[in-house]
Amino acid sequence: MNFEIFLQLYGYLALMVIMVISLYGIVRGASLIKKLIALTIFGDTANALIIFLGFKFGEIYPPVLPTLKPTLEDIAWFVSTAVDPVPQCLVITAVVINMAITMFLAFLVIQIYRLYGTTMVKKIAKLKG
């Protein structure tokens, strides 16, 4: 087995393991803060998986053309060596928007603590009213 296929399979496996661990944290976390930490890891893992799908092997460079006066050979070289830019474009907004959503959830957690005095999910569920 050559190392490209090994790397691809190992990458998928490791990302899946991280995803399942963080999913366990989201479901079973006792505190809302622990759930929030697990949620950030889950979102980052999804982003990393998308980037991993756009990766290729061989001679590779980032998808940035290094000259402002390219010839046709330059463009052909660019197309043959750059990695897939579509997943990067999708992820770049997702990272920042995830951040904004996490900040909003952080505000909610603080407000819940102010009103109920706890962040434990079981205790909040037992509260009346």
Min dist. Cβ of residue 102 to other proteins (A) = 7
| C-beta of 60 vs 127, nearer to other proteins | 60
Min dist. Cβ of residue 90 to other proteins (A) = 8
Min dist. Cβ of residue 23 to other proteins (A) = 7
Q: Minimal CA–CA distance to 39: which of 21, 52, 12? A: 21
| C-beta of 122 vs 128, nearer to other proteins | 122
| C-beta of 110 vs 128, nearer to other proteins | 110
CB-facing half-sphere around the CA of 71: CA atoms within 13 A:
1
Angle formed by the axes of helices 32-53 and 85-116, to 10°? Answer: 180
* CA 102 to chain centroid: 13
Instruction: Please tell me the distance from the alpha carbon of residue 56 to that of residue 78, in angstroms, as a whole number.
Output: 14
